[in-house]
Chain A
Amino acid sequence: MTPGIHLQQTLSRTTLAVGDEPQLIYVLLEAHAEGLAQQLPKLPLNLCLVLDRSSSMRGDRLMQVKDAAARIVDQLGQDDYFSLVVFNDRADVVIPAQRAIKKADLKAAIAQIEAAGGTEMAQGMALALQEVQRPFLTRGISRIILLTDGRTYGDESRCVEIARRGQSRGIGLTALGIGTEWNEDLLETMTASENSRAQYIATAQDVVKVFADEVKRLHAIFAQQVQLSVETRPGALLRSLDQVRPFIAPITIVEEAERRWTANLGDWPDTGVQGFLLEVVVPPLSVGDHPVLKLTLRYHLPGANLRDQERELLIRASMRPAEEVAHRVDTTVKHWLERLVAYRLQANAWKYAAEGRLEEASERLQMAGTRMLNAGDAALAHTLQQEATRLLRNGAVSEEGRKRIRFGTRGLIGPVASDERETNT
């Protein structure tokens, strides 16, 4: 079998009733690696770690982070590059970009980091971008991993600008917030791009696992520059496209031509499943099976020296007379939709809250709780409920509650649950 990406579709309903109104159908698109030889050669990794060493990191937090950084060094191979930048009121390159060969020296440098001072992130990001661009890689994966526990003041827009500059050159950013003081709006804005994400680390003990998981995931990347294009039949409409597995993320879709949309999906590891949910408006159609969408996935497989690979998937709506149509909804589609709806509801809640419309905001959080309860996350449902009540009573939610909700509804409170192939419905 040629190596590639396997695509699988599940529709919310197997049949649709014929009628004279447009209808909504949900398409779950799941993708995983197939036909890979035992092990494709690993792509070299070029990793820069940017660590906040402000005084609030003192104690257990910094100890755990240093331990986690040292373990990353252990995970890296001889072809991988590593650099380390720290920042407080100023930024320093602790380890300039180099191959991870003299591991004892690298770890000794990590051990000497001490916490003091304030938080000025942009300086750190600028140095990180400089270091990560030093190695010349004909192929490989360049990433910045940022960890912070505080708020940076006055240089937020520079942080975003530096992150964007890196992302435009294919350098992804993983931004990790630890504790409750950091600015989740900033980290989410900085990571609103492919190959990037923000994640919430609730307790310092989780840092080691989060770092290790991230390096493992980066080492498992086999497909790069994955791009999805969606073509619809006349009258049909792609209403939304969101990632739902391994975590929830809105995806930017660009309407390239009449009835054709494309989205950049970044680099994919060969472990686990990538899942996407599409909302498609189907126009009134006659009895029969009608093609509604054509999905085309394009990607490179650098490990196998294959470029511009393509997989296609045609999605058909099966129209039947109303009396023959079963109204059952696919439970897997419903499960992922339920989580996505919870994520959207909380996002709307913050917008309402910012406008001072607290009742609407509280209702959205409440309903998000209902959705999470049905999706099987009782703990998060309870947090949503508590914060909905708190918002109505006190006019504000707690900092921790807000972070738990924003990142919990996306599945991004670390360590992130493993994304097994089996769905957990």
Chain B
Amino acid sequence: MRRWYVLLVLPFLGLLYPPLYATEDPQLFGFPFFYWYQFLWVPLTAGLTYFVYRKTRPPEQPARRPTQPTGRFSRT
């Protein structure tokens, strides 16, 4: 299940090497490549994160146990 986390590396690869996208062409709707390429990563990253979230979610609903803090609040 945890192997899905590897997908989250993609946005880092796509964005942390600016020579990959620091150009003006090809343009899209008047936007230089540098801008629309980075904007494109916003929905892509959100989608990837959501996908990983679904895949790594435990098969059953999370246990609905109330937490029992053992910290300071417990001694009223």
Do A and B belong to a common assembly?
no
